[in-house]
Amino acid sequence: SAATDENILRAAIAAELDRTRRRSLALTDSVDDAELTRQHSPLMSPLVWDLAHVGNQEELWLVRDVGGLVPLRSDIDELYDAFRHARADRPALPLLNPAEAREYVRGVREKTLDVLDRTPLRGRRLVDEGFAFGMIIQHEQQHDETMLATHQLRRGEPVLHAPAAPPSIAPPSAREVLVPGGPFTMGTDAEPWALDNERPARTVHVDAFHLDTAPVTNAAYAEFIAAGGYDRREWWTEEGWAHRQRAELRAPLFWTRDSDGTWWRRRFGVTEPVPADEPVVHVCLHEAQAYARSVGRRLPTEAEWEKAARHDPATGRSRRHPWGDAAPTERHANLGQRHLTPAPVGAYPLGATPAGVHQLVGDVWEWTSSAFTGHPGFAAFPYREYSEVFLDGGYQVLRGGSFGTDPSMARASFRNWDLPIRRQIFAGFRCARDATRAERT
Ligand code: AVJ
Ligand code: FE
């Protein structure tokens, strides 16, 4: 019955809220108070800011907007407004201390669960108010990835622990696949929890192109460095070269080279040899573009990436995931902070597309050649601040999710964005090339 369906949905939302909160608490309970309030990099907030910020957004969107309740604290909204204070300035604010922040998020959560109990989750109410729950869950999950990136930046002994990623069991048989030209459905109207920037669905024509079956690996990237990649002006875009000079880029973030030329990386407090077969991570858009040019290739556009990940030539439909519509399991993709590293190429054959493109989802975010723009017909929902204020052309689209991304965002319509120079995010890339006229027919 409708009432039973509503209760099942309510229980599912409560379970997701709880599962997500456990991760947020694991990320913040694993360090002491001094580390929670310290700024590990000017690029990031102190962890205690993220914790109270997810609580504050939950209070604004669910407790006040949906529930119509009075706030636990209205005096702190200003401190946790991401648009009011740049990350670099956040440590200087009179933030809640760790004990206060924990108490705050716990108190907000109690009210949220009351609101959930009495919010009708059907028809228009589901679209307008139920959606706010899905959105606030995804918001916290995204901050969990941001907090994981803060952990990666911190110095000191390892505090996060996770099993090693699975080994390569069936690497792709070909280097690239031809994606035939033609239309496909980009974006979505059908995904209930899709965010405003994924909507609406529309038909997009994509010319035939080739896409690499795997992300670029550390070994391949090290060859680019050995070939003088960081000094070959001709491989960089003008903007990329200017940034390469200014920022003195020489290797991916967290890489160092010892006297015999071996590359090492720091990963969550452990220094280890760079594993050859894992996708490269912690490179910016400019490095990705320079690499691609060095091998006579380019980055895929966002539409190309999404077509390769979703379009099913057999039915003409766009599917939820590269492997089909089934929800991701731990055998499909490296997601959800289960492993604190990308997995080697070939570790997830079950997650490949029918055409044989591996690891589009999970492991590393993939830079695309597209700036973040609204799909035609874009309408901000429910707040301008989620996407619309970032649609100014200065942000670049990343697709696919990383090992730090929650599986709830593994839908292949999901869009991430960041500044072209950012490297602290878990971003890598794969290459593409145009199809020649002969290959097209
Ligand atoms: C979609 C990951 C770019 O972290 O800035 C968090 C997500 N929005 N709080 C970000 C987000 C508001 C957003 N990204
Ligand atoms: Fe936020």
- Residues in the ligand 1 pocket, defined by CB under 6 Å: 139, 142-143, 146, 416-418
**pLDDT > 80? residue 410:** yes
Ligand nearest to the CA of 149: 1
The rounded Å distance from CA 173 to ligand 1 centre is 36
Q: Which atom of ligand 1 is nearest to the CA of 143?
A: 6
Region of poorest pLDDT, from 46-60, 93-107, 119-133, 375-389? 119-133
Average pLDDT over residues 378-390: 92
Residues 251 and 225: beta-carbon distance below 8 Å: yes
- For ligand 1, mutation pick of 142, 197, 386, 406 (most atoms within 8 Å of CB): 142
Determine the distance separating the centroid of ligand 2 and the alpha carbon of 325, expressed in angstroms: 29
Looking at residue 123, its pLDDT comes to: 85
Q: Are 428 and 279 in contact (CB under 8 A)?
A: yes
Compute the distance from residue 142 Cα to the ligand 1 centre, in Å. Answer: 6
**Ligand with smallest separation from the Cα of 80:** 2
Average pLDDT over residues 402-418: 97
The rounded distance, in Å, linking the Cα atoms of 238 and 350 is: 40
Residue 441 has what pLDDT? Answer: 65
Cα of first residue to Cα of last residue in the chain, in angstroms, is 53
Q: Return the half-sphere exposure (C-beta side, CA atoms, 13 A cut-off) of residue 328.
A: 28
Cβ contacts of 304 within 8 Å, gap of 6 or more: 179, 206, 209, 211, 368, 432
- pLDDT above 90 (res 423): yes
Classify residue 151 by burial, with Cβ atoms within 10 Å: 0-12, 13-18, 19+: buried
Q: Atom 10 of ligand 1 has which residue's CA nearest to it?
A: 142
Decide which of 426 and 128 is more confident.
Answer: 426
CA–centroid distance, 130 to ligand 1, in Å, is 20
Residue nearest to atom 9 of ligand 1 (CA): 139
417 C-alpha vs ligand 1 centroid, how far in Å?
8
Q: How confident is the model at residue 129 (pLDDT cuts 50, 70, 90)?
A: confident
* Residues shown for the chain: 441
Half-sphere exposure (Cβ direction) of 1: Cα atoms closer than 13 Å = 2
Measured from the alpha carbon of residue 365, the closest ligand is: 1
* Helix/strand/coil (H/E/C) assignment for every residue in the chain: CHHHHHHHHHHHHHHHHHHHHHHHHHHHHCCCHHHHHCCCCCCCCCHHHHHHHHHHHHHHHHHHHHCCCCCCCCCCHHHHCCCCCCHHHHHHCCCCCHHHHHHHHHHHHHHHHHHHHHCCCCHHHHHHHHHHHHHHHHHHHHHHHHHHHHHHHCCCCCCCCCCCCCCCCCCCCCCEEEECCEEEEECCCCCCCCCHHHCCCEEEEECCEEEECCCCEHHHHHHHHHCCHHHCHHHCCHHHHHHHHHHCCCCCCCEEECCCCCEEEEECCEEEECCCCCECCCCCHHHHHHHHHHCCCECCCHHHHHHHHHEECCCCEECCECCECCCCCCCCCCCCCCCCCCCCCCCCHHHCCCCCCCCCCCCCEEEEEEECCCCCCCCCCCCCCCCHHHCCCCCEEEECCCCCCCHHHCCCCCCEEECCCCCCCCEECCCEEECCHHHHC
60 Cα: distance to centroid of ligand 2 (angstroms): 12
Measured between alpha carbons, how far is residue 88 from residues 24, 53, 85, 101, 395 in Å? Answer: 21, 15, 8, 20, 19
Instruction: Please classify residue 83 by burial: count the beta carbons closer than 10 Å to its beta carbon, then call 0-12 exposed, 13-18 middle and 19+ buried.
Output: exposed
Supply the pLDDT for residue 3.
Answer: 87
Residue with CA at minimum distance from ligand 1 atom 12: 386
pLDDT tops 80 at residue 267: yes
Contact criterion met (CB below 8 Å) for 366 and 176: no
pLDDT score for 86: 93
Q: What is the number of the ligand closest to the CA of 398?
A: 1
pLDDT at residue 193, as a whole number: 93
Average pLDDT over residues 220-229: 98
The confidence band for 285, taking pLDDT boundaries of 50, 70 and 90, is very high
73 or 244, higher pLDDT: 244
- Which protein residue has the closest C-alpha to ligand 1 atom 8? 386
Top mutation candidate among 138, 146, 385, 409 for ligand 1, by most atoms within 8 Å of CB: 146
Structural tokens at position 416: 């991430």
Mean pLDDT on 357-369: 98
Distance 226 CA to ligand 1 centre (A): 35
Nearest CA to ligand 1 atom 1: 416
Dihedral sign from CA coordinates of 141, 101, 74, 81: negative
Ligand nearest to the CA of 386: 1
pLDDT for 274 beyond 80: yes
Is residue 371 within 8 A of residue 396, CB to CB? The reply is yes
- The rounded distance, in Å, linking the Cα atoms of 340 and 164 is 8
247, 253 Cβ separation under 8 angstroms = no
Whole-angstrom distance, CA of residue 399 vs CA of residue 412: 8
CA distance 11 to 23: 19
Mean pLDDT, to the nearest integer, of 194-218? 98
- Residue 53 Cα to ligand 2 middle (Å): 7
Tell which atom from ligand 1 comes closest to the C-alpha of 416: 1
This model of the complex carries an ipTM of: 0.99
| Cα 413 to Cα 43, 306, 310, distances in angstroms | 27, 7, 8
* Percentage of the chain modeled with pLDDT above 90: 93
Confidence of residue 292 (pLDDT cuts 50, 70, 90): very high
Query: What's residue 1's pLDDT?
Result: 84
pLDDT at 105 over 90: yes
Average pLDDT over residues 51-65: 96
Q: Distance, CA 272 to ligand 2 centroid (Å)?
A: 32
Cβ 180 vs Cβ 59: under 8 Å:
no
Q: What is the mean pLDDT of residues 194-217?
A: 97
